[in-house]
Structure 1
Amino acid sequence: MVRRKRERKEVEPDFEARPRLLGKAKDERDLLPVKEAGGKWKFVKGKHNKASRRAAGEEEEGEEGGEREAEPEGVDEAARQAELQQVARRVEEDAAMVAAKKVSIARLGRRIVEAPYKNVGLLKDLLDMANRDRSPVVQRLALLSCISSLLDVMPAYRIRLPTEKELAMQVSAEVAKLRDFEKKFLVSYEGCLGTLTRWLKSPLPAHRVAAVRAVCEMLKKGYDFNFRDDLISTAVSLSRAADEKERSAACAALKEMFGADVFGEATLLAVKAMSALLKHNSFNVPEDVLECWLHLKLDGAALEPPLTKKMKKKKQSLDPVARELAQAAGERGNRARVQAQILEQVFVAYARVVKNGAHSPLLAVALKGVAQYAHQVNVDLLLDLFTNMRALLSPTAGLSTAASLQCVHALLRLLAGHGQALNVDTKDVQVRLYGLLIESELIEKPPLLATALDCLEHLCTKSRSSLLPARSASIARRLLSIACIAPHAQAIAILCVVSRLIMSCPRIATMLQPAEAGGATFSWSGDIDLEDPDGTVALRTTAWHLALLQRHYHPTVRTLSSKLAETLPPRFISCTPLKLIANFDQASGNFQPPPPQPKPHRFALALKEDPTAVKVFTAAVSSSIPEVRDAAATSMAAAERPCDVSFLGLANAILGSKL
């Protein structure tokens, strides 16, 4: 069967019949689509830039195998040179423009300072330049110049803008001029604060640095001016910044404000803001925040005596004008009340830090603050704080040596002030202090030893009744053992404290006498391992450590150890242990007292009387240097003496009876 061949029909496909699309231009590229107002997407095409065209040309040349020839190098070099010249010209123009604006900023600042009431409106020009100029350098210069001018012409009082009723009244030209100045000044001041707040969040590091610097300078002078709440809150937030320089600058400004604030109102605002910051961050803040509180100006104003009836009656009889004048003279508000509120905020924060336990990184700073302000705190604030601090001294608390010493110091200071009303036995505190004296860190770190000695001095002066003779003798023996191995500066401070212990508890003076003189009758040298300080062993022994200290190389140590039972000289009584260590420390190369000059040798005295014999003594006959032997021979010949005599015989022969 033969199959018939089918005839093929030449059918043209539909896509072949469609019109061809125009190809893309060589410099054309697809851009991102744009959504129109009606919701449709519009596809946009653009042209290649110079870099993309060059890259595309290089790719095409690589694919075609180098069929097309590259453009001449001379054309590219000429275009590149023209572009570089254009960039250099633009840089020069920008530099000239910045220099001209610097001159303009300087002129504006000078005009403001020269006539503030007349040119106060120029502050707005500087502020506009800081906000709108396209050069970041000009922005920073304009803002810093504006703030500097503001601080130079800032009034010494808080500005109160007039009410509508006061504005409707007719006033003199001077009052109107003053009102206009105050209004424009406040507008510029508020604008600067707003700009600084934005700059603190700027991605430009230079803007942030300039803003931090400006905020600190404004806080130092404007802490009692308008908008101080915003200024103080900004500075407090900067005190916990991650950047160390920003944090240190803000803390330094806060410390300076604490020292300069007379009335304490700005200090109270700052302390409240810092307490809220601590609580909000769960006390996870740097130590610098709490260290600022160590510079608070709490000079005992809260302990002022109450007013008598006569004084209260006299104060009530003052007319309003006299009362306002008295407030302007420095009696604004109740200073004692303000300082009491500051102390309450500070000690509430300290109590929360102590409650967190020994692992809190802020514990050491908090204990230092408690010891510094303990004498001004009332009993109500002490109860909870004292219980928590006493729990920290237990062996299971895990405190370091430095933190334990700070805790002991703070507890003793608390109990010495208003804490005396608690009637608490401090035996556990004293035993803990006795155990800390054996730590090697005390000798290695003088500040720790000074803190321990300060605790003992506090016991001698403020809590003398709690010092038992046996405990005092154990402490004295341990201190003398440490003095034997400590440097001379620490040994001097230790001997001064031992002398105060003997004065506070005269019964331990028997340790200074040997058994033959009616003193101690028990000889024992293991005092440094004695665990129970209340045992009578230390009281029945002789302090033979003094025999070693009396042969010390330092004259002051020898003097103090030989006169330990006598009253200390005034220069030792008025010095704290830390100051004594600093005065006698030889780290700077000084030795106190200066060592005496050695006495001149008899040969030196003879040479001083007979200068002609200098060559004889400076040249040795038996020297291995030929020049020295020749000089000796010449000297002997001049003195008509033989050259083969010994040096001592030669000296005796020349000086004769002078020796």
Structure 2
Amino acid sequence: MVFVTYFRILKKAQRSPLLPAVLEGLAKFAHLINVEFFDDLLVVLHTLIESGDLSYQESLHCVQTAFHILSGQGDVLNIDPMKFYTHLYKTLFKLHAGATNDSVEIVLQCLNVMLTKRRKQVSQQRALAFIKRLCTLALQVLPNSSIGILATTRILMHTFPKTDLLLDNESQGSGVFLPELDEPEYCNAQNTALWELHALRRHYHPIVQRFAAHLMAGAPSEGSEALKPELSRRSAVELFETYSMAAMTFNPPVESSNPKKKDKFLQGDSFLNEDLNELVKRHCSEVAIESPLDFTKYLKTSLR
């Protein structure tokens, strides 16, 4: 009965204020939907995205619902979800350190379903393009989002081992990288490098620095550049929540610094040059001569 209500709102009341709740509910319970509704539901979701009437978070829920459907019983269906990949890829830069930062959590969940769980259906070109765009995105979001994004990048580099060519500054094929292109399959991501990691290595947040150095070393599982278990064993969403700054606190806490006190303090006029000190004293000892101020003579001169 709940899904019937959801479908009715999707098809007949797409401008209803209930639509955000419907999309969120579908994203959460998509694995319970009957396979007979999959084709129609995916068409409706894509139509909603293309309409432009949805907020960014609502469109993310559409993408999330579509891939939850395809990752479950939808595997048996011959459906090409490329349009959903393209939509997420071209809208990633809508995320920033402002109001849309909270939507990063949904993006991380989408990437997990779209790329990691569907690794067999994802081409190397698509994986390269998403890794490159995620590293660029990590430069413009809050620290907890950067950590979650870099953790996702780490998982993708492990899932698609050949993507380590992005750590090399030599081109791997013909063409030039086209960052403005909205199609991840055709942007020639193999001809670029992850220069963003060098900037993130100098980030003010120590965990972001740690992840950046780890990825620059090829995301090793052991050695000096390997991550500690408390970082490597957590999912990207867990790291996003752990290092959230919603409570206006910095994690890890900032160490208090005790400034060194000077051994000696120069007091009085002992810091002045002798001649300058004498000049100051002489001027200070002089009695100021008070004289009336008369501006009328200047006024008369200006009126002539």
Q: Same fold (TM over 0.5)?
A: yes
Give the counterpart of 1:530 among 181, 200, 213: 181
The answer to whether the Cα contact below 8 Å between 2:97 and 2:140 also exists between their aligned partners in 1 is no
Q: Does 1:566 align with 2:210?
A: no
Q: Which runs of 5+ in 2 are unaligned?
A: 222-226, 275-304
Q: Partner of 1:471 in structure 2?
A: 126
| Structure 1 residue 366 displacement after superposition | 0.8
Q: Deviations over 1:96-118 (max 9, x none)?
A: xxxxxxxxxxxxxxxxxxxxxxx
Q: Report deviation, 1:408.
A: 0.4
Task: Establish whether residue 414 from structure 1 lines up as the match of residue 64 from structure 2.
Answer: no
Q: Is the CA contact 1:460–1:500 (under 8 Å) kept in the aligned structure 2? A: no
Contact residue 96 and residue 141 of structure 2 kept, 8 A: no
Tell me the TM-score normalized by structure 1: 0.37
* Alpha-carbon distance change, 589 to 623 in structure 1, aligned in 2, over 3 angstroms: farther
8 Å CA contact retained: 1:481, 1:545: yes
Corresponding residue number in structure 1 for 2:19: 363
SS in 2 for 1:415: helix
Counting only pairs closer than 5 Å after superposition, residues 508-519 of structure 1 correspond to structure 2 as 508-515=163-170
Q: In structure 1, what residue type is equivalent to 2:253?
A: P
RMSD, aligned α-carbons: 2.9
Gaps of 5+ in 1: 1-344, 605-616, 630-643, 645-659
Report if the CA contact (8 A) 2:101-2:141 is conserved. Answer: no
**In the alignment, is the contact (CA less than 8 A) between 1:442 and 1:449 conserved in 2?**
no
User: Which of 81, 97, 115 is the matching residue for 1:460?
Assistant: 115
Match in the other structure for 1:282: none
SS at match of 1:479: helix
Q: Residues 368 and 352 (structure 1 numbering): CA distance in 2 closer, same or farther, change over 3 Å?
A: same
Q: Tell me how far 1:351 sits from its aligned partner.
A: 0.9
Identity %: 28
| Residue of structure 2 in register with 1:432 after alignment | 87
Counterparts of 1:620 and 1:562 in 2: how far apart (Å)? 44
Q: Please identify the structure whose Cα radius of gyration is greater.
A: 1
CA distance in 2, matches of 1:383, 1:536: 29
Which residue pairs with 1:447 in the alignment? 102
Tell me if 1:404 matches 2:59. yes
Residue deviations 1:210-267 (CA, integer Å, cap 9, x gap): xxxxxxxxxxxxxxxxxxxxxxxxxxxxxxxxxxxxxxxxxxxxxxxxxxxxxxxxxx
Write out per-residue CA displacement over residues 270-306 of structure 1, whole angstroms, 9 at most, x where no aligned residue: xxxxxxxxxxxxxxxxxxxxxxxxxxxxxxxxxxxxx
**2:145 is matched by which residue type in structure 1?**
Q
Describe the shift of the 1:387–1:532 C-alpha distance in structure 2 as closer, same or farther (beyond 3 A): closer
Greater helix percent: which structure? 1
Where in structure 2 are the equivalents of 1:142-541 lying within 5 Å?
A: 345-356=1-12, 358-394=14-50, 396-440=51-95, 444-515=99-170, 520=172, 527=179, 529-535=180-186, 537-541=188-192
CA drift of 1:375 comes to: 1.7
Match of residue 278 from structure 2: none
Structure 2 distance, partners of 1:397, 1:357, is 15
Equivalent position amino acid for 1:538 in 2: A
Instruction: For 1:589-600, list aligned pairs within 5 A.
Output: 589-596=248-255, 598=257
Rounded to whole Å, the distance in 2 between the matches of 1:524 and 1:622 is 66
Higher RCO, Cα 8 Å, sep 6+ = 2
Query: How far did 1:462 drift?
Result: 2.0
Secondary structure of the structure 2 residue equivalent to 1:534: helix
| TM-score, reference length from structure 2 | 0.76
CA distance in 2, matches of 1:542, 1:554: 23
Aligned amino acid, residue 157 of structure 2: I
Equivalent position amino acid for 1:542 in 2: A
Q: CA deviation at 1:587?
A: 4.1
Is 1:544 the equivalent of 2:180?
A: no
- C-alpha offsets along residues 149-202 of structure 1, whole Å, 9 cap, x if unaligned? xxxxxxxxxxxxxxxxxxxxxxxxxxxxxxxxxxxxxxxxxxxxxxxxxxxxxx
